[in-house]
Amino acid sequence: MRLFFLLIPLILLPAYAESIPNYNDPYSPIFTDKPVYTWTDKIKMTILAPSWNTNNNLIDSIGDDADHSIKIGTSENSLKRYKFTETNVNSGIFTAEVILTGFAHDANGDGNIDTMPRTTGNGPTSGFLEVDRDSSVTISFEFADGVVLVKSVPISWNVGSISFLKEILLSNASVMIRVVDPDMNLNPEALDHIPIHLFSDSDSAGIEIEGIETSESSGSFIGTMILSQDSPSSGNRLYALPGDKISAKYDDHTLPKPFSKSDHLQIETFSVIDSSVPSTERLTSLPINFSDSFTNKIDSFSTNIQFQMVGTIQNNQEYKQKFVYLFQVKNADNSVESISWVQGELSSKQRLDVSQSWTPKKSGTYNVETFVWNSINDPTPISNPVYASITVE
Ligand SMILES: [Ca+2]
Ligand SMILES: [Ca+2]
Ligand SMILES: [Ca+2]
Ligand SMILES: [Ca+2]
């Protein structure tokens, strides 16, 4: 298309010198800035008509003349005698724009109509045209007597999309969410906004934030929220703990066929929030101790006498942390003799002793290893492992 656009003026170069329209060479293509439009877009139109550059020193105009009019319309509504003006005194290129005003519809689901359908204006700007969802806009120019040039462009709605700008979300950090739905560019000359619903495992009701259009006619919207593990949800702040799934939802009320005009569709995405504390630094695991059944510390061990293995963990975070603490005992051959675990939850900064008993059956050297994971189902280490060696007499 671009190549075509550049070549045509060269071919028609002799026509620039014409002082009256050259009816014998009625080549005058009509271009639009997009191949398909949504219901509330602005259409920028260009007509290449060098033979209508009747004065090389003046900005000429076309379309507003009853004999050679430009009509912009749908099957229902139209703007007649719409004026296009030359881009400079001697270009032979004529432009105009028209703003589509859609039809009466509640585009965001709040119960109120969001459009102002109207058909009015004379060009080259500030013209408004009502359009239906699945219609088309036709631009026709009576270039010469009996010669009408026509260009049609389709109108359609789009299914929106939603995404987090970053794949990994961090605690106490701001998070950006992008929604793309050209249909919600309701005013192509101002920033529009849309509602975005956000919720977490820890706050299933969540919050509703505004996505703001990135430029006046982009149809792309960015919303920002802060994840907080310390404060309840409010405004743009969402309460969420590390490990939570964070969901973002946009309710699209402007759907293309085969949906009906009154249908709506939840467009949803989610991400998992990671802790801003590195995984293995969430808890500190202190050295293991051993004690008898009366909680007295011991350092000698005998076969067939039960003793306690005591681990200590400390939560380094300002918030709760679930854990599973595993004790594993291996013999001198590196075979596992015993494995057992304790599950629980630590409050902010809490230190806790966890213990399991074990009765050695044979004398020998044993290695006790402890691991701390998120859970049995999610074996992400949340502290470094701790080792101890014991000798059973
Ligand atoms: Ca001119
Ligand atoms: Ca509405
Ligand atoms: Ca806009
Ligand atoms: Ca849509």
**Residue range 135-162: mean pLDDT, rounded:** 93
CB within 8 A of 163, min separation 6: which ones? Answer: 177, 178, 269
Specify the CATH class of 2-154 in words: mainly beta
* Residue 16 vs residue 246, higher pLDDT: 246
Consecutive H or E run containing 147:
strand 147-154
| Residues within 5 Å of ion ligand 4, judged at the Cβ atom | 158, 160, 181, 183, 252, 254
Q: Coil, helix or strand for 123?
A: coil
Predicted pLDDT of residue 98: 98
CA within 13 Å, CB half, 181: 30
Question: 64: pLDDT confidence band, cut at 50, 70 and 90?
Answer: very high
Domain at 161-274, CATH class = mainly beta
Q: What are the residues facing 309 on neighbouring strands?
A: 290, 356
Ligand of minimum distance to the alpha carbon of 115: 2
| CATH superfamily label, 279-392 | abc- transporter (atp binding component) like domain (2.70.50.60)
Q: Output DSSP code: residue 207.
A: E
Q: What is the pLDDT of residue 21?
A: 54
Residue with more model confidence, 275 or 57: 57
Q: Is the pLDDT of residue 12 over 60?
A: no
Mean pLDDT for the stretch of residues 7-22? 45
Q: Which 3 state secondary structure label does DSSP give 281? A: helix
Tell me the pLDDT tens digit for each residue of 333-387.
999 999 999 999 999 899 999 999 999 999 999 999 999 998 888 788 999 999 9
Predicted pLDDT at 221 = 98
Distance CA 199, CA 208 (A): 9
- Look at phi and psi of residue 182 and say left if phi exceeds 0, alpha if psi is from -120 to 50, else beta: alpha
Ligand nearest to the CA of residue 42, numbered in listed order? 3
The three-point CA angle 131-40-250 to 5° equals: 120
Q: Token pair of 210, please? A: 């505004």
| Residue 258, preceding peptide bond in cis (omega within 30° of 0) | yes
How far lies 293's CA from each of 61, 173, 306, 358, in Å? 101, 47, 8, 11
Mean pLDDT of 32-41: 97
Which ligand is closest to the CA of 54, given by its number?
Answer: 1
Of 8-12, 293-297, 353-357, the one with minimum mean pLDDT is 8-12
d(CA 355, CA 313): 11
The span from the CA of 323 to the CA of 277, in Å, is 15
Residue 14's pLDDT is 43
CA of residue 142 to ligand 1 center, whole Å:
19
**pTM across the whole model:** 0.69
Cα 184 to ligand 4 centre (Å): 7
* Ion ligand 3: residues, Cβ under 5 Å: 185, 187, 192, 213, 216
Mean pLDDT of 37-66: 95
Neighbours of 16 (CB within 10 A): 14
Single-letter residue type at 91: S
What is the separation of C-alpha 82 from the centre of its chain, rounded to a whole number of angstroms?
39
- Nearest-10 Cα torsion for 259, 260, 264, 265: -10
pLDDT in tens, 244-271: 899 999 999 999 999 999 999 999 999 8
pLDDT at 214: 97
**Structure confidence at residue 6 (pLDDT):** 41
Cα Rg for the chain, rounded, in angstroms? Answer: 36
Contact 127, 82 (CB under 8 A): yes
pLDDT over 50 (residue 121):
yes
pLDDT for the residue numbered 58: 97
Q: Is 373 helix (H, G, I), strand (E, B) or coil?
A: strand
Q: 59 alpha carbon to ligand 1 midpoint, in Å?
A: 4
Confidence class for position 27, pLDDT limits 50, 70, 90 = low
Return d(Cα 264, Cα 336) in angstroms, integer: 57
The alpha carbon of 304 and the centre of ligand 4 are apart by a number of angstroms equal to 72
Distance 178 CA to ligand 2 centre (A): 20
Strand, coil or helix: 331: coil
How many A from CA of 194 to the centre of ligand 2?
A: 10
Q: Supply the pLDDT for residue 182.
A: 98
Asked if residues 273 and 246 have their Cβ atoms less than 8 Å apart, the reply is yes
pLDDT digits 0-9 by tens, 192-243:
999 999 999 999 999 999 999 999 999 999 999 999 988 899 999 999 988 7
Fold match, 161-274 / 279-392: no
Q: Give the per-residue pLDDT at 295.
A: 86
Sketch the domain layout of the chain as residue ranges. 2-154, 161-274, 279-392
